[in-house]
C-alpha cells in the first residue's frame, strides 16, 4: 500500500479525492495493517448512526474496538492509501464515476 500523507483530520467523505483508495487501519505498536473500502466504512457508520461522510479519519481509528491480531494491543492508526494493484486506467475510471 502507498500511504497518502495526511494528519488524519480529513473527513471520511474525502476519500473521493483519491479515486480507488482504501482506508488502511494499521497497528501503531507493530505495524500490522488491513485495508478497507472507505465506502463500506461510511455505510457502516451510517447504519450504526454513529457517523458518516463527515467522520474524521482519526475518529474512525479510535472507534476500532478489536485488538491487533499480531500483538494484541489496541492502538490503531487510520490513513488513506493506494492499493498496489490500482492501474492508472482504473484510477481514471473511478475518478470519472465520482465526478458524475
- Residue 42 class from Cβ within 10 Å (0-12 exposed, 13-18 middle, 19+ buried)? buried
Determine if 70 is a binding residue for Zn ion (CB under 5 A).
yes
Block residue for cell numbers 501503531: 28
Q: Identify which of residues 65 and 100 has a Cβ nearer to Zn ion in the complex.
A: 65
Determine if 71 is a binding residue for Zn ion (CB under 5 A).
yes
Query: Which one of 30, 35, 58, 64 is in contact with Zn ion (CB under 5 A)?
Result: 30
Shortest Cβ distance from residue 39 to Zn ion (Å)? Answer: 26
Distance, in Å, from the CA atom of 44 to the CA atom of 24, rounded to the nearest integer, reads 16
Cα 51 to Cα 13, 47, 69, distances in angstroms: 11, 9, 26
Q: Identify which of residues 1 and 95 has a Cβ nearer to Zn ion in the complex.
A: 1
Determine if 1 is a binding residue for Zn ion (CB under 5 A).
no
DSSP helix/strand/coil, 81? strand
Interface residues toward Zn ion, by CB under 5 A:
27, 29-30, 32, 68, 70-71
Amino acid at each position: 500500500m502507498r500511504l497518502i500523507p495526511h494528519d488524519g483530520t480529513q473527513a471520511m467523505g474525502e476519500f473521493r479525492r483519491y479515486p480507488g483508495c482504501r482506508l488502511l487501519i494499521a497497528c501503531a505498536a507493530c505495524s500490522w495493517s488491513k485495508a478497507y473500502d472507505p465506502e463500506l466504512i461510511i455505510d457502516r457508520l451510517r447504519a450504526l448512526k454513529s457517523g458518516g461522510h463527515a467522520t474524521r479519519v482519526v475518529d474512525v481509528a479510535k472507534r476500532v474496538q478489536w485488538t491487533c491480531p499480531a500483538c494484541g494491543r489496541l492502538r490503531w492508526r487510520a490513513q488513506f492509501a493506494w492499493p498496489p494493484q490500482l492501474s492508472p486506467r482504473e484510477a481514471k475510471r473511478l475518478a470519472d464515476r465520482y465526478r458524475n
